[in-house]
Every structure is written in C-alpha cells, then in structure tokens.
Structure 1
C-alpha cells in the first residue's frame, strides 16, 4: 500500500499505459480519478472514480480540477502521435499535436497546482508526471517531426515546473517510454501499408528484441508518483529497452 491516503488523477486512463497505471495506483491504496475523452473505455475500471474529460477544453479542465480537490499526484498521460516528415506536416496537424501533447498538459497542471501545493505543504511532497517519449524528444526517429517536437516541449515544460516549485515540495518528472504494445500502437500498425512489416520494424528498433508491455512501464509510474521518488525531480526518465544506449 505504497500510495495509501493519496489522491491521484490520471488522464487517458481508458486504455494502454493510462489504464494500467490507474489500476496499479488503486492497488497501492490510492484514491484514483481515471479520466478519458471516451467514456466507454472507462467501463470496467472497478475501485476507481471515473470521469469523461476532454483535456483540450479549458472549461472541462477547470471543472475537473475543482471537482476532485487537492491532489497528491497527477499523471498527464493523454497524447497523440502524428506520422510524417517536415514536408508532410499540415498546419492543423502541428497545431493539434501541440494542443493535446503540450498545451492541454500545461492547462491541467496549472489548474491542479494550487491544490497540489496545499497538499505538499501538509505532507512534504506532491508529484506531477508528464508523458513524454524517447522517440525524437531524446533520440531522433524518422517520420516523427510533429510528435517529437511536441514531446521535446513536454520535457522542457517538465523541467520548468520542477525548477519553479521544487522548494515548495512539488516534484515534476517526464516519462519517456520506448515502443509499448498498446491499442494506440496497434492502431498505427494496422493503418500502415504493410502491417506485418510495420510490426517487425517497431520490434527491430528495440535492442531487447521485443515491444514493451504496459507492465514494463507501470512500475516507473508508481515509483515517480510515490514518496519513494521524493528526491527525484526535473528528470526525463527513460524506460526504453535500451534504444538510447
């Protein structure tokens, strides 16, 4: 029960890393508010509170922050992956990548931060975890211009928050996974011209010879949200199977 008596909010908790993280935090004793833009995906999440949330809507962000009250932890997991080089990017794709991957994260963190500062004043620490990526933000990958640029911005945002509030007990870190076998990845593989080859290519870039599972990633999520990481802040934490060795 490493998270007992703590309250966490998780975005994009309907599937993949977000869902597994919400359940793991629940199992460690936390009160968890699991949110997703698709309410159907939140079905079956027993033992957690659920709420439909479009993180790109400022009014919805303010409403959820007011509803849940002071948080001990926030996991900004919502995001989108765009494919393509600089020559392929449409302005609307670039704008949406930054709106969802960065601006929405900033707004939700800003809305929750006053309550988290209050919690940190009482308990000594509160934790913000932002979903970044090893892809392009840490290591360059082809056809990931908008995605990589937005995820690099997540790391910059993370470090800025960490620097501004470290003396007030707020920790802020970025999670940088490798290639994880999630519904999102499966959708991208299925949409490719040659799905079989696309899956082989994703696996080939992992030195360990396999895709990550959510179970490979979630222990780092729990660690960074827990008091066990109380001396860790402003870091881009890689869980990438050796891609960036």
Structure 2
C-alpha cells in the first residue's frame, strides 16, 4: 500500500518547482511531496540550513525585495526554468486591532502579502513558457472565518485570498493557473511554539483540536497533498479556487441542536 506522498505516481516528472518557506511545516511537507512525485525542487527560506540534505535550499527574506529577486534568479537558473511556484512563506501575529503597532502591521504585510507579490512577479516570465504553469498560495481560514485575536494575521491572509483570485483572472489566458489552500489549524512547529508559550499547552492543544469539526489538527502532509493537486497536471481545469483543508471548520455547523 502506497502512502499519500507517493500517490499520483510521477505526475511532476520533468517539472521544476520553487517552494517558499520550505524549511519546516507545510513548506517542507510540500517540497518533499513534489520531489517524491518527480519535480525538481528548490526551497527559499530564511533558514535554509534547517533543510534536509536531499532538498536544495537558498536563503531568501521575503520582506526584502533585493533578497527575493536574487534568490528567485538563482533558483530559476539552477532549475533551468520554472513550472510551479508555491508561495507558502509567512509569519503569524496575535492580537486585536488595538494590539499591534504600525511597525508590526507593516512587517507582517511586507512578508505575507508583498512576499507573494515579489516571488510571483519574478516567476511570471518563466511560467509563461511552461506547459504546466501553476501558482499555489498558502492562505488560511483566517481569511474567511472571524477568529479572535488574529486581526493583523487575518487581514494579511484576506489580502492573499483576494490577490489569488485577481492573479487567476489576470493570467488565465496566458495558461497560468493560480489557486490557494486555506488550512485550518495545522500541527506545525509554529503552532507548537504558540502552544509552548501558553499557560497550559495541553489544554490549549485540546481546545484547538476541538475547534475543528474533525476533532483533530490538520497535518502538514494533508495540506501538502492539496497543494500538489492544485499545482499539478491533474488540476488543469482548476484556477481561481480556494481549497479549504480545515477539518470542516469553515463549512460545517457542529454545535448542539439545529442551526437557526
């Protein structure tokens, strides 16, 4: 019996992919999934030294335009072209609209939104030459569900969702598909750090799992499989799509009694 990472055989054989924020969590799972399915993969990350040795990684700070341009140029040169861009890198933020300073707003939007803009802008000339051109952005249910204490993060991911749809419209006639995934709470190192900083990490983990109708956190591999589908030839007719991988939180009512 094959595992999820190998299902779909080698549909990415001969294709080149760049994954941002690929040193851990969803990004690492995505890079490994694409590579296992035949893609040549380069990861861009602020901490490339954390990457497993079987994956190629370059340093990039998505909050810095020069860093992004240099890293994208090097990655595409190494790959010999580009077919798939996965805009996964991002940073989190906690607090209501009162709690974050202007500097924090600028920093999060600089990375989460302008980072997508910068990598996509650099990739487009090469994607136009591809037979399977796809961009997949990692968004969040924070873009579609009101979550407490996530004002800045939600605003940044709402922008990514809208940007995804606008890019899909702009580039459909160039043969470039643009989609995004909306993960729920994913069991990643970032979430683990948030839990560790709470007063009662175990109780907080139980609460996060209970918040999702499935009763558990989403795995990074599940999100990676969704990204691989949207990025691959099997999704050739899919563009401008927001795919929720969230244990049902955005679409199911699981409260006591019927919804009114």
Unaligned runs of 5+ in 1: none
Kindly provide the CA deviation profile for residues 170-195 of structure 1, in whole angstroms up to 9, marking residues without a partner as x.
00111100111000000011112332
2:36 — aligned with what?
27
1:193 — aligned with what?
199
- Per-residue deviation, 1:232: 0.7
Kindly provide the CA deviation profile for residues 184-214 of structure 1, in whole angstroms up to 9, marking residues without a partner as x.
0000111123322221221111111111111
1:224 equivalent in alignment to 2:239: no
- Per-residue deviation, 1:134: 0.7
2:95 — aligned with what?
84
1:41 — aligned with what?
50
Unaligned runs of 5+ in 2: 1-9, 252-260
1:8 equivalent in alignment to 2:17: yes
The SS at the match of 2:41 is strand
The SS at the match of 2:82 is coil
Q: 2:155 aligns with which of 145, 149, 154?
A: 149
Instruction: Report matched runs for 1:96-135 at 5 Å.
Output: 96-119=107-130, 123=131, 125-135=132-142
Kindly provide the CA deviation profile for residues 34-91 of structure 1, in whole angstroms up to 9, marking residues without a partner as x.
121012211x241x32211112221121112222333100001101110111121211
- Per-residue deviation, 1:142: 0.5
Instruction: Report matched runs for 1:148-227 at 5 Å.
Output: 148-227=154-233
The SS at the match of 1:118 is coil
The SS at the match of 1:174 is strand
The count of aligned residue pairs is 238
Query: How does the TM-score come out when normalised to structure 2?
Result: 0.89
The SS at the match of 2:128 is helix
The SS at the match of 2:85 is strand
Q: CA RMSD in A?
A: 1.1
Distance in 1, matches of 2:53 and 2:170, equals 35
